Structure 1
Amino acid sequence: MRIKLLFWVLICCNIGFYTDVLGQEINKNYDEKLAKELHADDYGMKTYVLAILKTGPEKGFSKAKQDSVFLGHMANIGKLVEKGKLVVAGPMGKNDKSYRGIFILDVPTIAEAEQLVGTDPAIQSRLLDVELYIWYGSAALKETLKIHSRIEKRSH
């Protein structure tokens, strides 16, 4: 009898180990439709491209020309958001690496990201330069744009 009891305890412990430690337990809040819509994998994640914008080599533009280029930069950001390709963008604080801002692009490859950032007037004019990296993050990032539109008091 003790052997049978010990056997069942070991089986139950192992089942608990495999579901908890190995992550085999299904999330009770899982929404299959939403996961498919957002192209999420089993962990709720997906591949994006992280673009780090930094100061480019162009230094000879007048203030008026720089302002014009950056207006185009902001307009291009809006176009990429409308197309569903840009899910996060924002400037960085002062730093010793000349980093100016980031984009998180909803594309799976560097080649696709290069095409998108190539449409940016600040990159075209070389006021900004860009480094691109594959990044694996939450597929829910795209949903932040819907929330942001509800908390943004003033648009750009």
Structure 2
Amino acid sequence: MTHHVIATPLTQSAKPSVFMELLPIMATVLVAFLVIGIALPVLPLHVHNGLGYGPFIVGLVAGSQFAASLLSRFWSGRICDAQGPKRAVLLGLAGATGAGLLYLLSLAFANPVASVAVLLAGRLEGSASAELVAVLHAACRIVGRALER
């Protein structure tokens, strides 16, 4: 007796949902931006009250992340295209970790100039890291549109 198996297309209920397909990507992007953005409300207070600098330096430290974002956007896209989105995200998350360590290191300096310099380096590194993860966010939107079809 022979049995014939007939392949049928997946029904709508058997297909994985778009939400479940994109959930790990969206969670990674959320965590990355949360880690990078969580320092923003604290930095101006630290630079002004803790280090004694005025509004110009406070603005420089707070705004440096956005300037670095503009400068690193093309670089992060190139990395994602050349090495793949997984590598870009891993580099971005490692860079975000490094930025956090630089924030902590800046607290160890008694000299306010050195502390702000290390803090700025952390902001620049954090911004470049955020751009690597932002590339994943853009890819997530493209994949989401493709899965909806």
Q: Which has the higher helix share?
A: 2
Structure showing greater Rg: 1
Q: TM-score range by the shorter chain?
A: 0.3 to 0.5
Q: Write 1 or 2 for the structure with the bigger share of strand.
A: 1
**TM-score (norm: length of structure 2):** 0.35
